[in-house]
Chains A and B, each alone.
Chain A
Amino acid sequence: MNSIEKQLLNEPKRIVQNVITAVILFAFIMWSLTAVDLSNFTSNGLDIAKNILLGIVTPNTDLLFTFNTNGVPYLLVETMAIAFLGTIVGAILAIPLAFLSASNIVPKPVAFLVRLFLIFVRTIPAIVYGLMFIRVTGPGPFAGVLTMALTSIGMLSKLFVDVIEDLEVNILESLESIGCTPFEKIRYGIIPQLSAMFMSIVIYRYDMNLRDAAILGLVGAGGIGAPLIFAMNGYKWSEVGSILIGLMILILIVELISNKIRNKLVRGY
Chain B
Amino acid sequence: MIKFQNVNKKYDNGYEALKDINLTIEQGEYVAVIGLSGAGKSTLIRCINRMHDISSGSLLVNDVEVSTLKGKEIRKLRRGIGMIFQSFNLVNRISSLKNVLVSFVPDMPIWRKVLGLYTKKQKIEALEALDRMNILDKAFTRVDQLSGGQQQRVALARTLAQKPSIILADEPVASLDPITAKQVMTDFQRINEEMNMTIIINIHHVDLALEYATRVVGIRSGEIVYDGPASEVTEQILEHIYNGKLEEELSGN
Chains A and B directly touch (beta carbon < 8 Å): yes
CB within 8 Å of B: which residues of A?
3-5, 7-8, 10-12
CB within 8 Å of A: which residues of B?
97, 120, 123-124, 127-128, 131, 136-137, 139-140
> How far does the Cβ of A160 sit from chain B's closest Cβ, in whole Å?
34
Q: In the complex the two chains form, is A3's CB within 8 Å of B131's CB? A: yes
Rounded to whole angstroms, the CA-CA distance of A8 and B139 in the bound complex is: 9
**Which residue on chain A has the smallest CB distance to residue B123?**
A8
Q: In the complex the two chains form, is B140's CB within 8 Å of A12's CB? A: yes
> How far does the Cβ of B74 sit from chain A's closest Cβ, in whole Å?
33
A11 with B124: in contact, given A3-B131, A4-B131 (CB under 8 Å)? no
A-B pairs under 8 A by CB, number: 23
> How far does the Cβ of B85 sit from chain A's closest Cβ, in whole Å?
26
A11 with B131: in contact, given A4-B124, A5-B124 (CB under 8 Å)? no
> How far does the Cβ of A101 sit from chain B's closest Cβ, in whole Å?
36
Most B CB contacts (10 A, CB to CB) among A5, A10, A11, A12 go to: A11
Residues of A within 8 A of B131 (CB): 3-4
Residues of B within 8 A of A11 (CB): 97, 123, 139-140
A-B contacts, 23 listed (Cβ < 8 Å):
A3-B131, A3-B136, A4-B124, A4-B127, A4-B128, A4-B131, A4-B136, A5-B124, A7-B127, A7-B136, A7-B137, A7-B139, A8-B120, A8-B123, A8-B124, A8-B127, A10-B139, A10-B140, A11-B97, A11-B123, A11-B139, A11-B140, A12-B140
Residues of B within 8 A of A12 (CB): 140
Most B CB contacts (10 A, CB to CB) among A5, A8, A12 go to: A8
**Which residue on chain A has the smallest CB distance to residue B95?**
A12
Rounded to whole angstroms, the CA-CA distance of A4 and B123 in the bound complex is: 10
Rounded to whole angstroms, the CA-CA distance of A5 and B137 in the bound complex is: 12
**Which residue on chain B has the smallest CB distance to residue A12?**
B140
**Which residue on chain B has the smallest CB distance to residue A18?**
B115
Residues of B within 8 A of A8 (CB): 120, 123-124, 127
> How far does the Cβ of B93 sit from chain A's closest Cβ, in whole Å?
15
The 4 closest A-B pairs by CB, nearest first: A4-B127, A7-B139, A7-B136, A7-B127
Rounded to whole angstroms, the CA-CA distance of A214 and B232 in the bound complex is: 80
Residues of A within 8 A of B123 (CB): 8, 11
Residues of B within 8 A of A7 (CB): 127, 136-137, 139
> How far does the Cβ of A222 sit from chain B's closest Cβ, in whole Å?
50
Residues of B within 8 A of A3 (CB): 131, 136
Residues of A within 8 A of B127 (CB): 4, 7-8
> How far does the Cβ of B101 sit from chain A's closest Cβ, in whole Å?
11
Residues of A within 8 A of B140 (CB): 10-12
> How far does the Cβ of A12 sit from chain B's closest Cβ, in whole Å?
6
Rounded to whole angstroms, the CA-CA distance of A8 and B125 in the bound complex is: 11
Most B CB contacts (10 A, CB to CB) among A4, A5, A10 go to: A4
Most B CB contacts (10 A, CB to CB) among A7, A8, A11 go to: A7
Rounded to whole angstroms, the CA-CA distance of A118 and B128 in the bound complex is: 59
> How far does the Cβ of B161 sit from chain A's closest Cβ, in whole Å?
13
Rounded to whole angstroms, the CA-CA distance of A4 and B136 in the bound complex is: 8
